[in-house]
Each structure stands twice: as C-alpha cells, then as structure tokens.
Amino acid sequence: MIADLLDWAREHKASAFGLALVVLGCWALVAQSRRMHQVALHRAPAASAAAQASAPAAPVPQAPAVPAPAAQAGTERAARTARLRGEFENAARYADFISQAMSRPQEGGKFYALVAWKRCNAVAAQANVAPAHTGSDAFHDAALAQVQDAARRCGGVLEAWPTLDALYKVVAEQRGGRDVLLPEGGRGIAAPAQRETARADLDAALASGDRWAAAEVLKGNAEFLDAGNSTGDEAVDRQLRERAADVVACELVGHCRGGLEAALHCTGSGDCAHEDWREVVAEKVPETQLVIYDTMLADLHARVGLAAGGADARP
C-alpha cells in the first residue's frame, strides 16, 4: 500500500505539494487562534480594571438627613417652652403654677412665674369696678367675667409674694441654672432695662421663638429702642415708644382684641367703647403726635417681624 502511495505521489507531484500546503496552513491557523485566545485571556482583566476605573462611581447610599445637634436642641426647647406656656394660660391657680414652674428653667419656668405674678398684680390693681360704663354692654359683661376669672385664678399669689422683687429673689435662688427665656439679671422683666443691652436682650427673646418672651422683653426695653421719628422731646418719645410697644406686644401674642388689657380698661374705667387694645392705646396719643407714633409703630413692627398694622399678626 505504501508503494502504491509513493507511486501516486511521483505521478502527482503538484497535487501532493498543494495538499501539503493546505495541511500546513490549517495547522498555522489553529496555532494562531490558540495564541490569540491566550492573549485575550491575559488582557481581559486589565481591560476590565481600566473600564471600572474610568466608569463613574456608583452613588453611595446616604443616611437620612437629621438636624444638627444645635438645631435639634433648639426645636426641642421651643416645644418645651410652648408646653409650659400652655400650662400658664390654662392654670387653675397661678400660685400653684408659680411654685412648680420656677424650678423648670430649661423650659422657661422662671420667666413664666414672673409673668404670672405681673398678670395677677395688674388684676389686683384694677380691683375696683366702675359703677357705670359706656360703650358695648356685651363687651362689658364679657370683660367683667374675664377679670373675675383672672382674679379667682390669682388667689394667694400676692399673699405669698407681695412684690415682684420678693418673687424674683426666690426665682433667682432656685436651682437648675439660668432660665432659657429670662434675660440676664431679669433685665426688662423684674429689673430695670439697660440701654447697653436692650437690643441684645430683644434679639435673644426673638431668637427663642417664644412670642410671650419677645412681647415682655419688647415692653420692658421700649424706652431704649430707637424707633421711628422724634418729637424732639425725649420724655414724649419714650412714652410714645412704650405705647407702640404695648400694641406690638399684644399682636405678638394675639391678645389685642378681647384680651385682658382691654378687659381691665373696660371694667376699671367704665370705657367699654373699644374691645381692641390697639384702639384704646391710640386714643391716648395726642393728635399732634399721631404721625410720629405711627412711624415708631411701623419700626417696631419691622423689628419683631410683624406686618405693619396686621390684626393679631404672627411672625
């Protein structure tokens, strides 16, 4: 058989050579394919790494945003002072409220104890009811009921603490640290305000977010707050600023219409023509000073963030 194959090759030299070339070519292609496959395997990890490096980084899941500690503490404090203010407004007996509130300075308790005393003192000062009245009978009856209710709730307060100084001494000696709403030394609340600190004390009261604190500090510091135009008489200017501050303060706490101030004016003087405390105050301003008064009122409105002339507006 081998001899036959050799005879065939001698007779077909060209065909045998061609066949050899085909076989050799096939072998070369197979070898080259294997080599390229190995190169691709070596390059794949590097290419993958490069692709990963150049691709944008996947977003890292973020934790839910939480208030900064200072902001969170401020929110919690505002909530505590709001709750205490609710206790103040709804107290059945102010003597009991004062006794327990003054030991809670982190909620504004010392401040509200002093405010409660001042309310009771104002009611006691207007104890006599005018024998006759003018204006609205309905408003007079409502005002009288409000004053009598306040007098009942104030029972025992002035007996326990005859003066504001007496109460402040007890308040100042209470443990628990400085009250969050009360200015240093009780300035503008239980002690005279100071020109050097009037603006800073009002700024602190406004920053607290407590409208009652802002209202009390505003009234207590009004004489030292530059506002509006001047009449040229410092004594007159001071009186006009104090009256304007009374109006802005009642708007801050929303008690202008039908509030205790207007009720006390009605029952004590017999003048029940105005249920709105702003109207009572405006009637006390001489006509020649009304323009100056209005500029002071507008400046104090802006100072505390209230819309000028707003009815019981809130910041």
For a pLDDT cut of 90, what percent of the chain falls above it? 67
pLDDT (tens digit, 9 = 90+) per residue, 248-266? 999 999 999 989 999 999 9
127 with 119: CB under 8 angstroms?
Answer: no
pLDDT exceeds 80 at position 226: yes
Residue 7's pLDDT band (boundaries 50, 70, 90)? low
Q: Give the list of residues 6+ apart from residue 314 with CB closer than 8 angstroms, or none.
A: 211, 252, 254, 306
User: In this model, does residue 277 exceed pLDDT 80?
Assistant: yes
| Overall average pLDDT of the 99-113 stretch | 95
CB 278 within 8 Å of CB 243: no
| Confidence class for position 307, pLDDT limits 50, 70, 90 | confident
User: Residue ranges of the alpha helices (H) in 55-163?
Assistant: 69-89, 94-101, 109-125, 137-153, 157-160
Question: Is residue 22 predicted with pLDDT exceeding 70?
Answer: no
Would you state the pLDDT for residue 139? Answer: 97
Lowest mean pLDDT among 30-44, 110-124, 170-184: 30-44
Question: Which pTM was predicted?
Answer: 0.73
- DSSP letter, residue 134: E
Token couple for 250: 């009642």
**Residue 179 Ramachandran class (φ > 0 left, ψ -120 to 50 alpha, else beta):** beta
Please determine, for residue 40, whether its predicted confidence score (pLDDT) is greater than 60: no
Q: For residue 309, what pLDDT band results from cuts at 50, 70 and 90? A: low
User: How many Cβ atoms are within 10 Å of 151's Cβ, its own excluded?
Assistant: 14
Task: Of 37-46, 172-181, 185-194, give the lowest mean pLDDT range.
Answer: 37-46
pLDDT in tens, 229-248: 999 999 999 999 999 999 99
The letter for the amino acid at 69 is P
Name the amino acid, one letter, at 254.
Answer: G
In DSSP notation, 136-203 reads -HHHHHHHHHHHHHHHHHTTTHHHH-SSHHHHHHHHHHSSS-S-SSSPGGGBTTTB---TTTHHHHHH
Any bridge partners for residue 257, and if so which? 276
Residue 52 makes CB contacts below 8 A (sequence gap 6+) with none
Q: Which residues pair with 73 in a beta bridge?
A: none
At 57 the three-state DSSP class reads: coil
At 272, which helix (H) or strand (E)?
strand 271-272
pLDDT above 90: residue 80: no
Least trusted range by pLDDT, from 5-14, 75-84, 212-221, 233-242: 5-14
What's the whole-number average pLDDT of the chain? 81
Is 289 strand, coil or helix?
helix
Are the beta carbons of 214 and 205 closer than 8 angstroms? yes
Evaluate if residue 11 carries a pLDDT over 60: no
Q: What percent of the chain has pLDDT over 70?
A: 73
Which whole number is the average pLDDT over 191-198? 95
Checking if the pLDDT of 91 tops 70, the result is: yes
Q: Which residue has the tokens 């009856």?
A: 141
Distances (CA, A) of 25 to 18, 29, 30, 33: 11, 6, 9, 12
> Given a cut of 50, is residue 37 above it in pLDDT?
no
| Lookup result for tokens 């204006």 | 135
Q: Output 151 or 78, whichever has higher pLDDT.
A: 151
